[in-house]
Structure formats: C-alpha cells, structure tokens
Amino acid sequence: MFQEKESVLHIVMFPWLAFGHMIPNLELAKLIAEKGHRVSFVSTPRNIDRLPKLSPTLINFVKLPLPKLQNLPENAEATTDVPYDAVQYLKKAYDALEQPFTRFLESSKADWLFYDFVPFWAASVASKLGIKTAFYSIFTASVLGFIGPPSYLTANDSPRQKPEEYIVVPPWVTFPTTVAYRYYEIMRIVDSLSAQNNTGVSDTYRFGASIQNCDIAVVRGCTEFEPEWFHLLENIYGKPVLPAGQLPSTAPVGSEDNETWRWMKEWLDKQARGRVVYVAFGSEAKPTQEEVTEIALGLEKSELPFLWVLRVQRGPSDPDVLRLPEGFEERTKARGVVCRSWAPQLKILEHVAVGGFLTHSGWTSVVEGIQNEKALVLLTFLSDQGINARVLEEKKMGYSVPRDEEDGSFSSDSVAESLKLVVVEEEGKIYRERIKEMKDLFVNEDRQNRYIDNLIHNLKTFSKCVYVD
C-alpha cells in the first residue's frame, strides 16, 4: 500500500491564454484551495487583472510578462485580444515563457504542476525539478477520445492526413457513437492541425506531447455523463485519467453592482417567463458578417424576445468589424436588445425570463446553460465546439441549427425555426425537459465535492509513487 502524503500540497496551475481555459482552471483552483491546499495560478499580468475578483483564498496569482513579438498587437495577452489568424503569434510568445516559467518553478517548492495543452514543454521542465505533472484538460473526455492516442498525435505519419478523416468516427472508438466533426467545422480549424504555422508546432502535436509527458491526466467532466469516453482514455493513454467534475461556474464577487447587469436585469424583469432567447458565442468564436446577418434576421423572424451579446471585434487590431443589418435594432427594439460589450453571462442565464440559449457549444457556456435549466440551440464555430455539439445532440440535450454540410452556411429561416422549436413549440419539449433531467449530473455539490476529494487523494498518493504501465 502507498503511504499518503499528509502535508499541504502546493499545486501550480498554468493555463493557456484563453478565458475559456483560464476560467475552468480558476474554478478548479478555488475548489482545491478550499480544501486547504496551496495553489499558484500562473498567467500574464493583464489576464490575471481581468479574471473574476475572488474573496481571500489560498490562491497566489503569479504574473509572468508575455514576451513581445513583432506581429503580436500591443497589450494582447489572450485570444480574445487578437484576430483568429494572430493566435499563432500568441502561442509563439507563450512558448517563449519557458525560461521565466522554469525560473519560477525552481523557486516554487511545488508538488504538482497542472498544465494546459499549449505548453507541451512544461512537463519536461517540471519533471527535471522533481515536480509531478498533470495534463489538465478543460476539453471533455469525448473531445480527447476523438482526437486520439498521443502516439498518433505526435507521429509524422499520422493516420489522419486529410480533413475528411475527421468527419467519421475513428477506429480506436469501439462503441457506437455519432460523435465526429462536420466538414465545415474541421475546415475552420484545419490550419491548427498543421505544423506549417508560425510556431512550427501543430496543435495535435501539442496535445500528444502534453499527454505523453504527464504523470496523470485530469479531465473536466464526470464519468456518470461520459463513462465510455473516460474508459477509452484510460485505454489509449496507458496512465491514470481522473475526472475533475463539470466545475459549474460560480458568480464573481460584486457582479450585482455591475452597471451593465443593472440595465439588463431591468429589461429582463419586464419580459415573460421562459421566453427570452439569450445569444452569446463566448470570448473566441466570431461569426462572419454573413452569419451575423442571418442570425439577426432569424431573431427578427422568430418573433421571440432576445438579448444578444455581440462581439463585433476580436481585439482592437481586428480589421473586420461586424455590423447588424440596416434597421434591425430599430425594427426589434420593442422586444430585443444587443450588447456590444462584456456581459455577466451567469447572471443572465439565472434569470427566469430566459428560456433558450443560442450558444457556440463551448463547454463552460454549456455547463452554465445546464446549471440554469436553459434549453440549448447550438451554432458551432471553432475548436472543440463541433464535438461538444455532437455529444449534446446524441443525448437530446441540444438542437443544432441546420446548416450546409460543406460550407456551414445557414439561413435566417433555419435560425428562427430552431429557436421557436426549442424554446416554445411542443415538438421541442424534449430538449427543455432533457436539460432539467441532466442538471444534477452537472451541478450536484456532493458529487463535485467527491471528485475533488478523490483528485486530492490521488495527488497525495502519486506524490509518493511512480505509475508503472
């Protein structure tokens, strides 16, 4: 038997520079710190300043200045600050943090490093210093299972050479499933699958090396929701895979006093219960101008009240500023509002007037929708969103707006019909009811607490042993 380490653990968390990654890392950090363990949360200065303000905890925020690159806009420290085609420069700058991050680890006296997929080099640095490593994936078990074994991801002769090979279920998935990308989804991210980018390292290689070099893998999610996918990961990784729970979001301190929330709440309070459509696509997903036009006209045709949080740019250097159709806001002002700045999503989703959520299927948004029992209408754009959408479709927890399979185009009519189906029509009742049925798997505090206790128990145990395949 292994002797558990009784002392307080010191865990360093090093997330990728995207708020869709930093926020789930922060949620896990808070839960670990509440158990009495030390957490050092490492990111860049501006990102740390933009994170939700916490009441005093054991979390120590460590600021590492991001190296400046010629093609990276001034003050750009997160994916939300740059156009999509500049994200590779952000990754290149992030890779250049290796030396300052190493110096921090050398003096940290850390027991564990939790790192994201982008810093594939972090595990080697930590291991040389005698620090145990956990690849912490904010992506779900189904996403990781679909992208495959680490040996395939790092191989020069990967079995997936063409985009078409991502739109079918891969051979290592041995159970029945419909989970795969649509052609238009994989074509939007195909550039990240190639090493022919400005960093010289593909995202697939980053994933593969991160998984290969860790002591354990920690995955956002729960085995009750995706049992077959967690079992698959154990098989293809050949090392422990520990669920961290769904990590439902907690409201940031002081959000009630936010000026934006005050006017939104006043507007929502006047709307009928369960009829408002909330529209938001996260911090990274940016529709095209044509897509924004169809979404707007679809909202208009649906005749449902709506609250749309529209990001018109990805950072100040983004030259493509999105515009709404001429006259749209005037025509819909009696039943809809558009917000072009940050909005308190959790507060909006908590409101009883909101009945449906038109979402990009980013997992944090999905969890926030489910924890507030909002029916999900899915419109994917980037990254893992396609896989997330297939899982939700498969479990009848979300309905995807019908699109052209090749180019991903959709019409305003399909938007309007999807919204009405899921939010108000009898035929779509299954989606509204299914979310309520599944809510307990996502927000049950006792279950989430057990996952954290089990994680910490394993961290203590593995601190005293080496895993042998």
The 10s digit of each residue's pLDDT in 8-39 is 999 999 999 999 999 999 999 999 999 999 99
Does a structural domain hold residue 101? yes
Q: Does pLDDT of 252 surpass 70?
A: no
In a domain, 30, yes or no: yes
Residue 341 lies in a domain: yes
Q: Mapping DSSP to helix (H, G, I), strand (E, B) and coil, where does residue 459 land?
A: helix
* Averaged pLDDT of the chain: 91
Q: Is there a domain that residue 467 lies in?
A: no
Q: What is the pTM of this model?
A: 0.92
The reply to whether 238 and 264 lie within a common domain is: no
**Cα torsion through 112, 26, 116, 316, rounded to 10:** -150
Flag whether pLDDT at 423 surpasses 70. yes
Largest CA distance in the chain: 71
Is residue 119 a part of any domain in this protein? yes
SS3 content of the chain, % helix, strand, coil (to 5): 45, 15, 40
pLDDT band of residue 467 (cuts 50, 70, 90) is: very low
Paired residues of 137 in beta bridges:
219
Please tell me the predicted confidence (pLDDT) of residue 1: 37
pLDDT score of 56: 64
468 found inside a domain: no
What confidence category does residue 5 fall into, taking pLDDT thresholds of 50, 70 and 90?
very low
Q: Give the model's pLDDT for residue 284.
A: 81
Please give the pLDDT value at position 396: 95
Q: Are residues 112 and 144 in the same domain?
A: yes
Q: Report how far apart the first and last C-alpha atoms of the chain are (Å, whole number).
A: 17
**Are both 272 and 228 inside the same structural domain?**
no
Residue 383, domain member (yes or no): yes
Beta bridge partner(s), residue 278: 307, 357
Task: Give the residue carrying structure tokens 């010289």.
Answer: 200
Confidence class of residue 189 from pLDDT cuts 50, 70 and 90? confident
Instruction: Report residue 465's pLDDT band, with 50, 70 and 90 as the boundaries.
Output: low
In tens, the pLDDT along 334-391 reads: 999 999 988 899 999 999 999 999 999 999 999 999 999 999 999 999 889 999 999 9
Residues 237 and 313 in one domain: no
Token pair in block for residue 233 = 């990961």
Q: How far is CA 458 from the centre of its chain?
A: 25
Higher pLDDT: 191 or 106? It is 106
DSSP string covering 419-467: HHHHHT-GGGHHHHHHHHHHHHHHH-HHHHHHHHHHHHHHHHHHTT---
Are 364 and 387 found together in one domain? yes
Quote the pLDDT of residue 198: 73
Do 144 and 107 sit in the same domain of this protein?
yes
The arithmetic mean of pLDDT across residues 235-250, rounded, is 93
Domain assignment present for 469? no
Average pLDDT over residues 243-269: 79
pLDDT in tens, 103-138: 999 999 999 999 999 999 999 999 999 999 999 999
CB neighbours of 197 closer than 8 A, spacing ≥ 6? Answer: 88, 191
| Position 460 confidence tier, pLDDT thresholds 50, 70, 90 | very high
- Specify whether 34 is located in the same domain as 122: yes
Alpha carbon distance 303, 335 (integer Å): 8
Do residue 134 and residue 44 come from a single domain?
yes
The CATH number for 139's domain is 3.40.50.2000
Please indicate, yes or no, whether residues 136 and 52 belong to a single structural domain of this protein: yes
Please tell me which residue, 144 or 255, carries the higher pLDDT value: 144
CA–CA separation, 206 and 122 (whole Å): 11
In total, the chain counts a number of residues equal to 469
Based on the domain organization, do 105 and 129 belong to the same domain?
yes
Do 163 and 241 belong to one domain? yes
What pLDDT is attached to residue 196?
65
- Rounded to whole angstroms, the Cα distance separating 163 from 185 reads 10
Based on the domain organization, do 224 and 266 belong to the same domain? Answer: no
Q: How many domains does the chain have?
A: 2
Q: Is the pLDDT of residue 100 over 90?
A: yes
Higher per-residue pLDDT: 177 or 202: 177
Residue 256: band (very low, low, confident or very high) from pLDDT cuts 50, 70, 90? low
Domain that holds residue 361: 255-442
